[in-house]
Amino acid sequence: MIFKTPMKTRLLLSVIILFASKCLCSAQEGFVDGVELTTVKSPWTMRISNNNLDVTQAQAKPDEQSAYFMMVSETNHLNVSVFIEPIDKCKSADECRDHVLGLGNPAWGKFQDLSKGKIKDFSYFEFFRPEVQNRPVNMRDMYAEFVGQGYWIDLHISKVLYTKEDHALFERLINSISFIQKGQRPSGAFDSQLAKGEKSASTWFELWGQMKCSESYNSLSSISRQEVATKEWVDWCTKVNTTFGKNNSRKLIAAAFTRSLPTTTDRPLGILVYLSSFANRTSVTEIVGLLLEKDDTWSMTNYLPQ
């Protein structure tokens, strides 16, 4: 991380708390929450709909084939991680499930009630952990594997203070997953708001990349400008641009939209994740935050290159 502020901590890091709230402004009427994840070279994009998930961490390999995403749902108290990578050690969903189970993980510790099954095209195993590191947590873990067109998804869902009724949350999440072939994007509400968010981010990136640092600051949302001084932002903008050099490419690999940030705003928020290349650094994961304004336009809330 290059720059730390309270704003950045609230909006972009793993402690983000985002969950759905009632429609409080007209801009929310057509809003759709959801997450899209992919890699640059994957032939499809994975969409998880209507689960109030927020991307809190993203890492992409320079080969543009593999990526890792961490998400949370404060509404349902779920933790969700996704690995996307080319098929290597296994060739089918069942094989990948058994491969992951066979590898094991020391962090699992002692578990019980191991079971296997299928939901849609995902093969899964799951187990229950009463304790983690000698602390009572009552955690359920599900590892669900998908294989398609030469790529493998390793999906991990977990929940502490788990009850049997919570299993429906696990099943609902997997059932909400769909795959969009690249070059065949649909024209639904989610796709429209994603296009608008990308356009706003692109306009802002032009200011940033030309080192128009004051202008990039003035284009931030009013909430963001309350959290960081102009000089602090301009100094950081200058440092980042000098360190990275000119941007050569910027490719979207993840997008998440959710309805509000409690105690900060009741407006919808978005996070876009890009795998980018610069003159002085060939592989950078860029995370940008967006806020849906009352006039139905998206404004930047923050920018985090890593």
Does 52 reside within a domain?
no
Which pLDDT belongs to residue 28? 60
Which pLDDT belongs to residue 263? 55
Which pLDDT belongs to residue 4? 35
Same domain, 138 and 200: no
Which pLDDT belongs to residue 261? 57
Does 37 reside within a domain?
no
Which pLDDT belongs to residue 13? 33
How far is Cα 288 from Cα 226, in angstroms, rounded to an integer? 18
Which pLDDT belongs to residue 158? 98
Does 82 reside within a domain?
yes
pLDDT in tens, the chain (306 residues): 223 333 333 334 332 323 223 333 444 667 888 999 999 999 999 999 988 888 989 999 999 999 999 999 878 899 999 999 999 989 999 999 999 999 999 999 999 999 999 999 999 999 999 999 889 999 999 999 999 999 999 999 999 999 999 999 999 999 999 999 999 888 888 999 999 999 999 999 999 999 999 999 999 998 899 989 999 999 999 999 999 999 999 999 999 998 765 556 677 889 999 999 999 999 999 999 999 988 888 999 989 998
Same domain, 167 and 243: no
Which pLDDT belongs to residue 265? 66
Which pLDDT belongs to residue 300? 94
Does 47 reside within a domain?
no
Range of the domain at 280: 6-30+186-305
- What is the number of structural domains in the chain? 2
